[in-house]
Structure 1
Amino acid sequence: MIILGLLWIVVAYALAPLMWDGYARIDPALDDTPRITNTGDHHPGDPLNVELIGSEQELGDIMTAAGWYLAAALGVESDFKIAADTVLSRPDDAAPVSSLYLFGRKEDFAFEQPVGDNPRHRHHVRLWKTASPDVDGRPKWIGSAVYDRRVGISRTTGQITHVTAPDVDTERDYLFECLEKTGQLESQYIVQGFHQQLSGRNGGGDPWRTDGDLYRGVIRSAGAE
């Protein structure tokens, strides 16, 4: 009995947390989902690596609880502000992100988390609402979590832009670490083999690489006790 008890402790408190709440192979509902976003001029963008399930309100609530901020819309005023904040090293919790496209439209939401006192480097994720809800009828939001490591010159356009870190898995993992801490995730899954292409370059010419997995989180329903 003692051995069984020790075995249970190891499985329940060591192995199980490492394996999350479950693993999943490719979900048939994802078969028609693009794997990579696009820029406005139809170049490949960033790879998709996260999916969240929950209402728009629940999505906003968990991101706020996780310490992430809704990015401001692009515009002359917001563009000028981020430029000034970058030069003057002033924090900007809601700095705009450039638009990427999926399903023929730009992201529905973009959230970010500043790093230090300068918007030149930050955590950020873009999310798109999918056409099909989950089995319980709740909205699904698929997205791309990427880290902006500095401001530089685009390798493809020559424009001033954010240069992204190549290891997108690190940003995916970090986002879910933040979400876990809120206590608002009902469950988490890894969709293995979501990507067959494991490396590439985004629209700015920045390289990216991934293990191919998509992390899925189900947000606890606002009506759940």
Structure 2
Amino acid sequence: MVSQEVGHPVDSEKLRHPAGGRREWLSTLRYGLIVVLVGYLAVAYVILPMGWRRYEKRHPALTNAPTLTHTKLGIPGDPLNVGFVGSEEQLIKAFHAIGWTEAEKIDLKSSVGIAESTVLDRPDAVAPVSSLYLFGRKQDLAFELPVGESARQRHHVRLWRCEEKDDQGRLFWIGSVTFDERVGLSHTTEEITHHISPDVDGERDGLLNSMLKAKQIEAIQYVDDFQPQAQGKNGGGDPWKTDQRLGWGTLID
């Protein structure tokens, strides 16, 4: 009687093609190497260069830029949180496009006008804003967007022209945009003044998004860690808080 040894079944295909498994393994290896190579090329020649180009586009005025305005007495004022690249004409056109108006200079007539607006609840879309200082001078331009029927509440921005130009000869305008939520006495000087909302980031993002929606800027970019502190107080003693970023955009012709 012939005994039959019991074992594992024999794969006849592998016996006929012993190199098949090896070829499959090599094919998988080649595929993996191709994926790695494509990933490397994408990072080295597409993603990183895009990042550098974006960095290089940052206006030179943002290097070592100031972060706070000051009052005439040198008291820290509102934080700088917004900027624009372009000419004065482009800047004025952009603000007009989103419904903002230029604030009048402070004189007897404009002072009487804003007083009547706040006391008598009358509109004053060009009411003056108090002067803050940067680069040794008060704001070069100021714009506002009233809320309600008087100048008690309004969105407003002060802007200063920086000396540095980029490689295309374009100016950078740095500014502080805040929201006046009420009129009252200054916590530091007891003078009559507007008190701002502490949410300066909301004003920054609201202004830039309005500009973007109206196609007045190319895109919104941010400078992280621009503000050294996440909170502070302005010259009127009003508290503010921020994610420490400055938002900016390049104006469109």
Compute the TM-score of the two structures, normalised by the length of structure 2: 0.76
Matched, 1:142 2:149: no
Q: Is the 8 A contact 1:52 1:216 kept in 2?
A: yes
Q: Is the 8 A contact 1:127 1:141 kept in 2?
A: yes
Residue number among 234, 237, 243 corresponding to 1:202 in the alignment: 234
Question: Runs (4+) of structure 1 moved beyond 4 Å?
Answer: 22-29
Residue number among 61, 66, 79 corresponding to 1:34 in the alignment: 66
Q: Superposition RMSD on alpha carbons, in Å?
A: 1.7
Compute the displacement of 1:182 (Å). Answer: 1.4
Indicate the structure (1 or 2) with the bigger Cα radius of gyration: 2
By relative contact order (CA 8 Å, sep 6+), the higher-ranking structure is: 1
In the alignment, structure 1 segments of 5+ residues that lack a partner are: 1-21
Query: How has the CA–CA distance of structure 1 residues 131 and 27 changed in structure 2, closer, same or farther, with 3 Å as cutoff?
Result: closer
Compute the TM-score of the two structures, normalised by the length of structure 1: 0.85
3-state SS of 2:220 partner: strand
Structure with a larger share of its residues in helix? 2
Matched letter for residue 196 of structure 2 = T
Matched, 1:123 2:152: no
Alignment partner, residue 249 of structure 2: 217
Alignment partner, residue 109 of structure 1: 141
Amino-acid identity (%) = 50
Query: How has the CA–CA distance of structure 1 residues 198 and 82 changed in structure 2, closer, same or farther, with 3 Å as cutoff?
Result: same
3-state SS of 2:115 partner: helix
Matches within 5 A, 1:58-97: 58-97=90-129
Return the alpha-carbon distance in structure 2 between the equivalents of residues 24 and 169 of structure 1: 23
In the alignment, structure 2 segments of 5+ residues that lack a partner are: 1-52
Residue number among 193, 214, 230 corresponding to 1:182 in the alignment: 214
Matched letter for residue 138 of structure 1 = R
Query: How has the CA–CA distance of structure 1 residues 200 and 84 changed in structure 2, closer, same or farther, with 3 Å as cutoff?
Result: same
How far does the alpha carbon of each residue in 1:37-80 deviate from its partner, in whole angstroms, 9 at most, with x for none? 00011100000000101111000000000111000000111001
3-state SS of 1:90 partner: coil
Matched, 1:160 2:160: no
Query: How has the CA–CA distance of structure 1 residues 164 and 154 changed in structure 2, closer, same or farther, with 3 Å as cutoff?
Result: same
Matched letter for residue 225 of structure 2 = G
Compute the displacement of 1:180 (Å). Answer: 1.3
